[in-house]
Amino acid sequence: MDFRPGLEGVIAVQTNLSSIDGENGRLIFRGYRADELARKHVFEEVVHLLWYGGLPVKNELENLKKQLHEARKLPEDIVRIIDELPEDMEMMAVLRTCISALKAKPEWPPTLEEAVRITAVIPTILAYRYRSLHHLEFVPPNHQLDHVANYLYMLTGKKPKDAHVRVMNAYFVLTAEHGMNAATFTSRVIASTESDLFSAVTGAIGAMKGPLHGGAPTGVISMLNKIETVEDTEDWLRKKLNNKEKLMGFGHRVYKTNDPRAEALRDVTESLSADDDWFLLARHVEDTAIRLLEEYKSGRRLYTNVEFYAAAVFKAVDLPEILYTPTFTASRAAGWCAHVLEQAENNRIFRPLSEYVGPGSMIKENTQRG
């Protein structure tokens, strides 16, 4: 058997949830293109697609929204836990602690009701903790608002602009699911032991917390801040490339052409570009960087990734930097729940092999003889 570091290229799961075509730049959720879903549908519709297998009709959508509304409230014991946590504790660690505390009695198999509870309460946890850290009064959930709009409302206490809801909704849709990434794989491994959904999501949050996975688009914002103006763009980028430094927000391990998530976010933010200097700068940097990357690294096929436009979206809606990765987590939790529910349908515990290369191993002996 071949050893493949990081399980690179190994198929460990068969799934109905999503397909990533890196060569052609396509991301599919249950037969639907994710970029088209982001342009035409709200987050709750995509959650229904992932959990139930199809887009909802009106009554189904209203029912799911109602369930999410009812599950938003923060339990008193979770409030007490958050209040007792050190102020310097990372937001992802706070979220991990709270999700693990939501369930006292493990259950198998996982249920849709549990998926609703987790997905609904994460934004409330984040908003409560953020406002608490800044000595602001907690803003309770507004049941008149949909999932994404309510999240922005709880952070600020003000009804968000429609344009901001639209771009954040697109972000939530596009990042809700993305194949067998590290956090999703973690959730399925935990679920395969017949542990409960809350444990699986807690483990996924731990994986997302790592900078190689859930690293927020902070680097993109830092780059745009340093460039400052359209006029300075090309000189700044050329200096980075001449020094063989990486341009943040370009290139992806999977996508060898345009990241469809970045394209969709670019389209959705089009309406903001005319009135927002930040978006105008971002679009100019993108165009210039792609042209220069082809000049400096011809044939490498380096294009804008989702982090680039996520940075633009977060900056436009004034999302605090401390909430970048947690917000990514708030959207991806729906996908984790879908994977755990799917794992439970035909479960088999994950038990890969390891190859011993320590003292006395055949590999070591053969190397020494050679």
Block residue for tokens 């949830």 = 17
CATH of the domain at 170: 1.10.580.10
Q: Is residue 351 in a domain?
A: no
User: Of 275, 299, 316, which residue is a domain's last?
Assistant: 316
Element at 283 (helix H, strand E): helix 277-296
Is 305 found in the same domain as 184?
no
Q: Residue 192 and residue 105: Cα distance in Å, rounded?
A: 18
Closest CA to 171 of 267, 30, 296: 267
How buried is 281 (Cβ within 10 angstroms: 0-12 exposed, 13-18 middle, 19+ buried)?
A: buried
Residue 279: which domain range? 218-316
Q: What are phi and psi of 345, to 5 degrees?
A: -70, -30
Closest CA to 172 of 28, 46, 15, 17: 46
Is 191 found in the same domain as 224?
no
For residue 49, give every residue at least 6 positions away whose Cβ sits within 8 Å of its Cβ, in sequence order, or none.
29, 30, 32, 37, 55, 56
User: Of 295, 316, 337, which residue is a domain's last?
Assistant: 316
pLDDT tens for the chain, 370 residues: list them: 788 888 988 999 999 999 988 778 789 999 999 999 999 999 999 999 999 999 999 999 999 999 999 999 999 999 999 999 999 999 999 999 999 999 767 689 999 999 999 999 999 999 999 999 999 999 999 999 999 999 999 999 999 999 899 999 999 999 999 999 999 999 999 999 999 999 999 999 999 998 878 766 778 888 988 998 999 999 999 999 999 998 888 876 676 667 788 888 888 877 666 556 777 888 899 999 999 998 998 877 788 888 888 888 898 888 999 999 999 999 999 999 999 999 999 999 999 999 898 998 875 555 544 4
Closest CA to 184 of 21, 324, 67, 328: 328
Q: Is residue 325 in a domain?
A: yes
Q: Is residue 335 in a domain?
A: yes
- Asked whether the beta carbons of 338 and 177 are under 8 A apart, the reply is yes
Is 155 found in the same domain as 261?
no
Q: Is residue 364 in a domain?
A: no
Block residue for tokens 């679009």 = 283
Q: Is residue 9 in a domain?
A: no
**Percentage helix, strand, coil for the chain under 3-state DSSP, each rounded to 5:** 60, 5, 40
Q: Residue 16 and residue 58: Cα distance in Å, rounded?
A: 24
pLDDT of residue 23: 77
Handedness of CA 28, 33, 34, 37 (dihedral sign): negative
Is 167 found in the same domain as 72?
yes
Element at 14 (helix H, strand E): none
- Tell me the two tokens of residue 351: 């038990």
Q: Residue 110 and residue 340: Cα distance in Å, rounded?
A: 7
Domain count for the chain, please give it: 2
Q: Is residue 358 in a domain?
A: no
Is 199 found in the same domain as 58?
yes
Give the orientation angle of helix 233-242 with respect to helix 277-296, to 10 degrees.
40
Question: In one letter, which amino acid is 190?
Answer: I
CATH of the domain at 251: 1.10.230.10
Is 105 found in the same domain as 202?
yes
pLDDT of residue 251: 76
pLDDT of residue 104: 67
Judged by DSSP in three states, 18 sits in strand
Which positions are annotated as active-site residues? Answer: 252, 307
Is 69 found in the same domain as 156?
yes
Q: Is residue 226 in a domain?
A: yes
Is 233 found in the same domain as 110?
no
Q: Residue 232 and residue 285: Cα distance in Å, rounded?
A: 10
Closest CA to 18 of 188, 178, 172: 178
Q: Is residue 179 in a domain?
A: yes
Is 222 found in the same domain as 211?
no
Give the orientation angle of helix 197-208 with respect to helix 182-192, to 10 degrees.
150
pTM: 0.90
- Asked whether the beta carbons of 172 and 43 are under 8 A apart, the reply is yes
Is 203 found in the same domain as 271?
no
pLDDT of residue 363: 59
Q: Name the DSSP class of 350.
A: -
Is 329 found in the same domain as 283?
no
Is 179 found in the same domain as 266?
no
pLDDT of residue 258: 74
